[in-house]
Structures are given as C-alpha cells and as structure tokens.
Structure 1
C-alpha cells in the first residue's frame, strides 16, 4: 500500500490538508518487450482487458472508483458547484434543423433532459411535434439518439441508436406522419453516413462485419463496406455497393447527390484529410464504380453538385484550401482560389456557394456564385463560431448555429436571396453574456511561432493577483479549437476563475502547414506551444504559480499527460480526459489504427523513437513532484479504450511523484463523450471543478 498525505501550499494561503490516501495495490506483470533494441516494460498490460468481461479489471476499477469517490467527498463546495452547474445547464438547447419535403426536423433539449428529443414541424411556422424521445430508452438515460436523416420527401426517417456511449450504432426507421417504427434494423454500423435514395426506396450506409464474441469494444475496425438497404427487407438482403477487400484499412462514407443521380464514396485510410473519391452512376443499375480522385494525397470534401459537375473543397496546391469543380471525367477547374484565411467548409445553397473561413480561429462567411464571383458576406451575430449553412442547391434558405464563450448556441435562418438573418431558436439563459470579457491574445512559443490564445473571465475581475486559471487545448488531427459556450466553463468563471483556450499547432486553425507542424516528428511543437501558453498566462499576471489547472480530452488528454511529464512544476492540477496514454500500442485497438496519420507507426523505428520520447505512460518522472491529477475515462469508451487511462494511473500511483492526489474517475455506461446523459455531465464537472479549485486556490461556493 502507498499512503499519501495531500498537502499543498498555495502562495501565502494556509496548507491544504487532506486525509491520507491509500491507493489500491495494482499487480505488476512481467511483460517486457524488445523494440528496436530497447527493452520496454509494460507491467500493467493486463489492465488493457475489457472491464465488462475481465473480473480482475472490474475489481480494480471498483477499487479505484472507491478511493476517488472517498477523496472527492471531502472537497468543499462540491455539492454547491453541482447545484450551480444544474442551474446553468437548465436552458433550451437546439441543434441545426434539416428541411425535407415540407418538414423541418431538429433536436431540442428543454434543459435538464438527459437526451435531446427530435422534433418535426410542418413548415417553418408549424407546431413542433415530438418524433423521437430517447429519454425512455434506458433507466440511466445512457441510450442516445445519434445520427438521423429524413428521406428527401420528409416522409420517412432513419435514425441511429447509441447505447452506453459506444461508437457502434443500430439504425432504425420510422414513418414520420405516424411516428410509428418500421421493422427495419441495421446492426454493426459505425462511422457511417446515412444517405437516402432520392425516391425514398432505401438508404446507403457503412458497416463492419460482426465482431467475434467478446471483441466488439476492442477489436480493430477494418474492412468497412457500403451497403444499400431497401425498406421493408431484412439486413441480410442488403446489397453490397462498395468495398475494398484488397485494402482493408480503407474506410468508406457514401453520399447521394441532390438530384439522386450519383453516389459519391469518400475513402480514407486514417484521420488525415487525404481521400479518394469514387462515383457510382445510380441512373444505371449495376453501374461499375469509377474512381474520380486517386492516391490518398489531398482533401476532397464535397460541397455540392450541379448535374455531372461536382464542387469540392480541396487542399491540393492550396494549403489553406480552395474550391474546385470536377466533371465526371475528372477535369478540374478552380472556382474559389486560396485566401489568406483558411476555408473551413462550403455548400451550395440557393444557387450560391456559402463558404466558411477561419480567421484566427473565428468564423467568417462569404458567398460566391458557382462561377466563383464574390457575392457578399453573411452578417453573423458577433465574433465567434458559426457552423451549418447546409441545404440543397435550390433551397432559398439555410440555417446556421452561432456560439461564443459567453453566448450559448443559437440557431438562425439565412435567406440566400435577400441576405436576411432571422432567429430560429435562441435560448434564454440565467446569466448576462455582457458580464463576461472575451479577449484574443497572441504569444510566442519556444521556437518563436505566434500562437492565438483566448482568455475569458468575468467583467470586473482583478487579474493583478493572478487568478486561478483553467487552460484547455487539443492540438491534433487538423481539428480547429473554436470559441464555444459551455455551462461548465461559465461556472468556473462565476467562481472567479479564468478560462483560457490555446490554439496550438496540430489543429486546423491555419490550414495544412499548422497541422503538419504539430504531428508525427513535429509533435513536440504541440507540447511546447501549450507549455508556452501556461508560461504566458503566468508572466502576464493572469494567473500565478500554483494557480494553473490544465485540461484536455482524447488527443488533448495525451497532451495533458505529456506536458505534465515534461513540466510538472508549471501546473497545480491536471485533468486528462479519455486520453491516449500508451503511444506504443494505440494502434492495436478499435479506431486506433486510424491515428497513425498524426502519431506515426509504433512498429517503424523512426516513429517509435519519437513516440517513446513523449508517451505519457512511459515517461513518468520518478522522484519529481507532480501536480494533483484527476484522470477521467469511461468503461464503454471504444474510441480511446480505457486501458490507456488505467495503465497510466497505475503507473502514476506506483511512482514517487509527491504528495498530491493522483486519481482516476471511471464512469459506467458511458463512452468517449457523445451521448453522455446530462446528469452524468453535471456530476463529472462538479467533481472536476471541485478538484481543480482545491489545488488552484479558487474560492468555491460557501467558502
């Protein structure tokens, strides 16, 4: 047993004393493997086993949760934080509507519902009618409505069921007029688009073969195939439309063009925006697939089509992206050239190209004719993030969602002909957005690179003493971190804390070059950028030493694990969530094989040497004081399997890294994040904020 007394002095404050923590004894196994001449010990390999099927792992999880819950129960203000989070979460939340026929479909949460409800309106002014309410699907609220898609005429709906947070989906169908389910059921669907045939006779979807017994949550996902399901028939009769058995690592996603003439199959091998595009002429039964774009070299994201001309966003010869038109024979002509800002997305609506740009991580929306001639801009409600702008080429309207750090997501209708922006659904909230200050600053990283940093805090806050601050980042997979609203972050700021978001390299804020500068052999730049952000916040007096907490999820969880190893002195508390912690084995489970585009191949020595240097599990520094750490994961996470976090925490608890707590919170019946019930989200953030407040000196309610 390892007894630790959590005691920490924050500035001139009195020492924080906690009851001794007795960590569970975690058995060390004898696994040592030779990698390119290096012996690599993996004593906690057994914790990779599935908690649902291995009683030994289940016992370890129960023991760790018991210790963590006992510690969290001692934290002051935890109940009050949860109460305030519940109040802040209690506001209407809407997602983007989709028009099909005369119907408008959208989801709405009344505030504290565990799952959002799908509604339908007959016309814009129609009375909303609940079509699917998933809140009765499971007693614990952990079965969610995932993807959904109405048929073109709006009379049928395909929808996916997500149980317990898994990436696996079961697809079902219903009749919109009666809300009655149809008999159809499609299983073993994952990472799939749902694309209806124009005549509504069925839909195209992507699936994997049924996994071996007991392997559904850990086996590698390979040989994805595209099928066509005809309504009213069993899945066993579905027609295989596209597959690449000679290239099992390719994944495939299918779209049907607006006119119903073409099936566009986008194929990828990893997470990079490097695609092949295949066309199938749906007007000709049995038509053979024709590859339009070969090579897995560039991004090709379909923006829309006009007859046999296809409009794509691409980074071919344009690191910040451009829009080109391809005909069915593959001839290319440029429509919208590369700009100084990064093109984020595009769609053809109302005969125009609606193009969103990232300008220093903020959204700007511009319009173009199909000939590429500029046609104005969309006036957004403010500086923040706008997403959506989808629809059909003939639609006179489109919808977009707008949000910022102090503005909850609101839905707006945009009239393409007049340029008018009108509210569709704007939530009422129990706070004044004007009470919060949003700043965008820039700082220099270790190598001199200029990096954007958002700093958000309550108006009137005195920054001079250096306030407790929560620094968040992601830094990977070409994903841009954007301004967005979170009731959890608002609660942190209400208590007097600062929230900071660093737009570090590895993301997509500045196109391909920004992504490339933070992946593979350049991954250390991501960690340097984040560390520099922390140093900037301290040097500028926004926060003080011993007052900085850090948080990241998934690839961001890897980030937090790596920087905690590299600069444990810089941080007071670390909150790595569902992180990739064993960089030598990530590619052996579920979707992990896709991540080699960002991380490299552990079985290739140049990549191995890089991965070994920063892998959180393998670089814990014995004998060096570490910040307080609360790891979060979930038993049904089949994206980043929880074994990553299990092994990492076992290694932390076995190391001599100081007296602060190093704990893990393991959620049950939850996954990587999507579909998590509202009550579980509130409970999790109450624990996280109480923990971070304890170790940064943030005053909690009641203190």
Structure 2
C-alpha cells in the first residue's frame, strides 16, 4: 500500500470502534478463528489447564503494604472479577491467612449491571478508613473513581459528600480526608492532544466538582499533568508534574503561599525524594557543578541544598558497559538499589551517614532469574522489605526480611509444568551495526543439537526492560510439547540503561528491527531452529515489531502473532493516546520524520506479491490506548492481498487484551494452539 493510497484508505471505516459494521466484521473473523483453533479437545484441555493455574489458591497473593495492613486484589474461579481484601502480617505468614474482604467486584457488577474491572485503590493514610477506588468498564484505561468507606464496606455516594468522578482518564490523590487533588475531563479544552488531563485541581469535600480550584495547568501539546502530596512527617511536600512529551517532565514544588518552585534538573531524568534527600536518575549526560555525569547515573544531594543552588552530588550508581540501574527504593533509613548485569539482577543496600554513603549486598540473587524488592513502606514500615524471585523454570518465591538481618522464606508458589531436563541459556547475537544483543533460550536439553519449533518474543521500546520470570503458560503450552522459547533483549528497551533505548528512537528505530532479525538469524546459525520452524510474538509496541517482521523480514519466520498492535504509523498519532508517543516514533505530519517512519510502517509497506508467513492478529474492542483500528485495517488489507491472516478481537479487555482470567486463558491457549499448528503440526492444512 503506497503512501498516496493512504489518503484514500478504503478501510478507514474499521476505525469506528463500536460501529455495527466493524463489530460484525470482527465477529465474523472471530468465528473463523474459533472453528480453526479453538474447537479441538487439545485446545480445550490446554485452556482449562491454563485457567486452573490462573485461578488456583496455590498462587502467591502478592500484597501491598500500608503500615500494619497488607492489601491484595485476588481473582479465582469463585471470584472471576475479583475481591479486594486485606490481612495482617501475622495472618499473612500463616499457610492459610484469614482475609478481610473489603469489596467483592463480582457482587458489585451484578448489583449495578456493569462489567467492572479493577483498576486500583488509593488508601488514605494513616487512618486507612477511606479509599479512592478506580473501576473500568471492560478493562479500558478510562475509569470511574469512587470513594469507599473501609469501615462500613460501602461506597460513599456523591449526594452524601463522597468524592466521585464519572468515566474518563481520571486520577485522584488524597491530601487529607476532606481534600483531594483531581484530574479529569473538566470540559472542552481540559484535555491534552493525547487525551489525558491538562489541568490539576484541588477539590474540597461538600463542594461540586465545578467549584474545584485550579492549581496547575499544562499545554494542549503536553502528554499530561499530575500532582501529589508527600505526607512524610516533617517533610511534607506538595508537587506537580508536567509531561511535555513521553520522556520529558517538569517538576514543581508548591509552597504554602501558593507559589511554585521549579526543580531545575534535566527534564528527561527521574526525580524522587525521601526525608532530606533528593535523588536524580539521569537519562542523558549532564554537566553541572563542574562535573559531567553519564546517562544512567544515580545522584543524591540534600534537597534544601539543591533548591539553594548547590550541585555537589554524591554518586550512588555509575553504569558500565555491562551493568545498568534497574530500580531503587527507600526503606525508612536505607536505599535498596537493583542493577542488571547482562540482564541479571544484583541487589545492594546504600546507607547515608555522617561520613557519606556506605554500600553492602542485600541478598544473594540466583542466576537466570529476576529478583525484585517489594513492600517497602518508607513512612510506616521501618526497614522491613520483601523479595520476590522467579526464573523461567523456577516458580516465584517470596521472602521477607529487615535490612541488616537474614531473609526468611515467606511464600513459595508451586510449579505448573514439568521442568525436568529444561534448561535456560543466554546468548548474544551481532546486529547489523555490530552491537551484541542478548537473548535467553529455554528448551529441553534433548533439543540441543537438533533444530526444532521455536517461538521468540520481543518488545523493544519505551525503555522497558524484559527480565526472566516464571513461564507457567509457556511451559505447559509450548515447552512441554517440545518447543523452544526465546526472550529477546533488543534495543529500545532499558536492559543496558537509557542509552539502550535512546539509540533506537525516531530515525534510529530501524535498530530495533535489525536486532530482532539478527537474533532470528543467530538462532538458525546456532542450529536451534530453522526459518520454517521459527515463530515470533509481540504486543502493543511489540505488535508493531511483528508487523515489521511480516513486511520486512518475512523469510525469517514460519508464523507470527501480533497483539494489540500499532501498525498504521501514518495515523497512529491521531488515534486515542497515540499523540503521546511522538517522542518515541516521530511525527508523521512532518515530512522529514515521515520519511523514516514510512520506511517501516507495516500498513504502508505490505505487498500483494510478497510471500508472508501466516499471521494471527489479536486486539480488543475496549482498548482505549492503542486503537483497534490498527489491527482491523491491517487484517483487511492483508486479506485483500491474498495473504494468510487470522483475526481475533476480544470485545472487552482493554490494552491488556483480557478482562478476567477466563479471557486471558482463552487468548493464551489460542496463541500456542496457533503456533502448534503452524510450526509443529505440518500435516494440518493452512
């Protein structure tokens, strides 16, 4: 499809998200997919097995700590929409904790005749008597926000003075029990071009939303604005943020007299604070105070000293070619730093003192696994923490500890597939520009030396790092069947720090696709697979990756799965939240930027004469982040050109594709049944 043809795009009608004709078109294709892939005993058995794993009580109920309470949102067979509950530490440590159910979402949905999907809760501290609960219809990003009484276990109606927002891309933050910061659709001109909040207001209980006081405004061209209140005793701070694009943000502090103080740090850096300390994580090189600090450096300074113009920083982390900063979080007295060394986790504790900062290992971290720090409560929780560890074949383990003391086993998840003989290896492929790109291979040891069916996954965008995690679905759906699984760490992500991302933005986007293709070739060169036996899967930005593999590198693959994708890069910025991603991809309305986007945009680069591998395209009607029109139009175009394409659209589910465990189990089984038929069952006709 040429760029000129785009101006008369015959499939624009498919962008009408809930129109009768597009939905009928989608349902017709859903029926074809169901008949081809979901009507067999093999599919049914796998779907039920996956659902049993999602619903089992043997999973770890990961909590969110708020002082003495541990909160958890839980779905299982009896509660498909889920329950919000809490318990104490003492109970949580037992094998079968007693949970206090605060809200039953299934009961609420039935009572209100709504398909509510949980979107989170903000508990008012320290009393923990109220919460602001966000609920989504069908899993969309847009939510309603309602105030909930934790003591009475009921919502407080707006008529009774409760805080409540109608459906929009909302946010609400507690200041105190009678005051909140709020961002919503206040009417014409109140949203950014990306569809997010442009105005922040202070809203007092008992007053209408229309009377809320505007305290901060951004520009229509911004991505969004936000604000919050740090209630740390003795260090209370009100702050506002203005995201000028996806990667640049201005931070302001609000003084008691209403004046704003701009935090003069690089706009592409991450700022955070605790007590007297300000931390700045650099995303690009910064020269200040007579020193030059490279990207990915973590700096610390006394907050008041910084505001007064001081720039004498302590360097808490400095990157090297193999090591990047992955995460960092405060306990009451310490900073826990997580790094990635060739995509494998290391943990350290940094402690400020009169003689500077000290550094000690926190705990051992296993190889080929990811270990994360959770449940730090820097205000009320002292120096307690939890560690969650899992690897591709190692189920999750949850440990608890206090800094300076040994960690203790808290919970252990069971295994859900047979790992006997399955091993994890890490390799590196050389991309077109010579960069060595890592990837993990998970396969049965009997496969070594014999090429076999292989599926590789990729994302490559927005500085999102992909690290090892337990592959329960993949294990039972693919590894047990003799398949090989590959997780790639291509550029565009953050596995080697911000520069791993920035070197693949905009005009250099092609490096993402070259990296993925290089790994595909490397898998063949190592004898792990063949092009006919190689599949690939990716979603969202990873769905764009799959579209490029289809149109630019079709000879490398035997099958592709493309989920909730961006594909029409000529119009992506005009659809839903697309304008917020211009800093990642570029602006197609600028000829000089469309020049490089047009080179890879899948919708503009299909060919009726090319030989494409079979592709399954999946999306969600309720996805209000990446427009389902991308997937619909690409499917229609490929069909018109005579290519083998299957299409499935979940009528709900949001950007995650599924609104509950049952839908997620169906979609997971569908993906692997597709790969099984395309890459393993060669006797099945296409």
TM-score with structure 1 setting the length: 0.85
- The equivalent position to 1:347 in structure 2, one of 324, 329, 333, is 329
Deviations 1:296-342 (A, max 9, x none): 3x21231x3214x4233333433223132352415332341413221
SS of the residue corresponding to residue 672 of structure 1 reads: helix
Q: After superposition, what is the alpha-carbon deviation per residue over 1:617-637, rounded to whole angstroms, capped at 9, x for unaligned?
A: 111122121111110001111
Offset from partner CA, 1:518-554 (integer Å, 9 cap, x none): 2211111111111111111122121123111110000
1:324 aligns with 2:305: no
**Could you report, residue by residue, the CA deviation over 1:482-518 in whole angstroms, capped at 9, with x for unpaired residues?**
1122432122111111110110011111112211222
SS at match of 1:425: strand
- State the match for 2:136 in structure 1: 162
Structure 1 position 350, deviation (Å)? 2.8
Determine if the alignment matches structure 1 residue 44 to structure 2 residue 10: yes
Contact 2:142–2:170 (CA<8 Å) still a contact in 1? no
Task: Note if contact 2:331-2:377 (Cα within 8 Å) is conserved in structure 1.
Answer: yes
Which one of 280, 288, 306 corresponds to residue 312 of structure 1? 280
3-state DSSP of counterpart to 2:357: coil
Structure 1 distance, partners of 2:229, 2:369, is 30
Inter-partner Cα distance in structure 2 for 1:627 and 1:88: 32
Distance 1:645 1:592 in 2: 14
What is residue 447 of structure 2 aligned with on the other side? 462
Partner of 1:86: 51
Choose the corresponding residue for 2:271, options 295, 301, 312. Answer: 301
In the TM superposition, 1:232-247 aligns within 5 A as 234-245=208-219
Pick one of 172, 180, 204 that aligns with 2:181: 204
2:578 matches 1:609: no
| Structure 1 residues 264 and 422: alpha-carbon distance in aligned structure 2, compared to 1, 3 A threshold | farther
State the aligned residue count. Answer: 650
Query: Where in structure 2 are the equivalents of 1:65-214 lying within 5 Å?
Result: 65-73=30-38, 77-92=42-57, 93-94=59-60, 96-110=62-76, 113-125=79-91, 127-138=98-109, 143-153=116-126, 154-183=128-157, 184-187=162-165, 195-197=173-175, 199-210=176-187
SS at match of 1:368: strand
The residue number in structure 2 matching 1:18 is: none
Is 1:583 matched with 2:562? Answer: no
> Which shows bigger deviation, 135-144 or 172-181?
135-144
TM-score, normalising length: structure 2: 0.87
Looking at structure 2, the residues matched to 141 and 546 of structure 1 have their Cα atoms a distance apart, in angstroms, of: 46
Find the counterpart in structure 1 of residue 290 from structure 2: none
Q: CA offsets per residue over residues 633-653 of structure 1, 9 Å max, x none?
A: 011111100001111111111
Q: Is the 8 A contact 2:33 2:646 kept in 1?
A: yes
Say if 2:198 and 2:220, in contact at 8 Å, map to a contact too.
no
Which deviations, in whole Å up to 9, do the C-alpha atoms of 1:373-403 show, x marking residues without a partner?
2133233466422334432156221234322
The residue matched to 1:624 in structure 2 has which SS?
A: coil
Q: Distance in 1 between matches of 2:450 and 2:459?
A: 28
Distance 2:106 2:343 in 1: 35
Structure 1 residues 134 and 261: alpha-carbon distance in aligned structure 2, compared to 1, 3 A threshold: same
Is the contact between residue 300 and residue 314 of structure 2 (CA under 8 Å) also seen in structure 1? yes
Question: In terms of mean alpha carbon deviation, does 439-448 or 609-618 score higher?
Answer: 439-448
Question: Over aligned residue pairs, what C-alpha RMSD do you find?
Answer: 3.0
| Cα distance in 1, alignment partners of residues 142 and 220 from structure 2 | 24
Shift of 1:425: 3.4
Distance 2:395 2:151 in 1: 32
Once the two structures are TM-superposed, the CA of residue 414 in structure 1 deviates from its matched residue by 2.9
Q: Which consecutive unaligned segments of at least 5 residues does structure 2 have?
A: 93-97, 287-292
Note if contact 2:463-2:493 (Cα within 8 Å) is conserved in structure 1: yes
- Three-state SS of the structure 2 residue aligned to 1:114 is strand
Aligned to 1:334: 314
Query: How much has 1:408 moved relative to structure 2?
Result: 3.7
Q: Kindly indicate whether the alpha-carbon contact (under 8 Å) linking 2:147 and 2:164 is maintained by their aligned counterparts in 1.
A: no
Q: Does 1:425 align with 2:411?
A: yes
Q: What's the secondary structure of 1:461's corresponding residue?
A: helix
**Equivalent residue number for residue 95 of structure 2:** none
1:55–1:86 Cα change, 3 Å: closer
Alignment equivalent of 2:467, drawn from 473, 482, 502: 482
Q: Secondary structure at the match of 1:372?
A: strand
Change (3 A) 1:41 1:195: closer
Alignment of 1:509-548 (within 5 A): 509-548=495-534
Alignment partners' CA distance in 2, 1:652 and 1:353 = 52
How far the C-alpha of 1:295 sits from its partner, in A, is 6.2
Hey, what's the Cα distance between the residues in 2 that align with 1:344 and 1:225?
A: 32
Match for residue 627 of structure 2? 641
* Contact kept in structure 2, 1:551 and 1:574, CA below 8 Å: yes
User: Which residue number in structure 2 is paired with residue 672 of structure 1?
Assistant: 655
Give per-residue Cα distances to partners, 1:646-700, cap 9 Å, x unaligned. Answer: 111111111144xxx3011011122110762100011112222111111101599
Deviations 1:436-494 (A, max 9, x none): 32211112112221011011124x43233312111000001111111122432122111
Of the three residues 632, 637, 659, the one matched with 2:618 is 632
Is the helix fraction higher in 1 or 2?
2
For residue 362 of structure 1, report the CA deviation from its aligned partner. 2.2
CA contact (8 A) 1:404 1:485 kept: yes
User: 1:485 and 1:652, CA in 2 relative to 1: closer, same or farther beyond 3 A?
Assistant: same
Residue of structure 2 aligned with 1:258, choices 221, 225, 232: 232
Q: Alpha carbons of 1:238 and 1:123: their partners in 2 closer, same or farther (altered >3 Å)?
A: farther
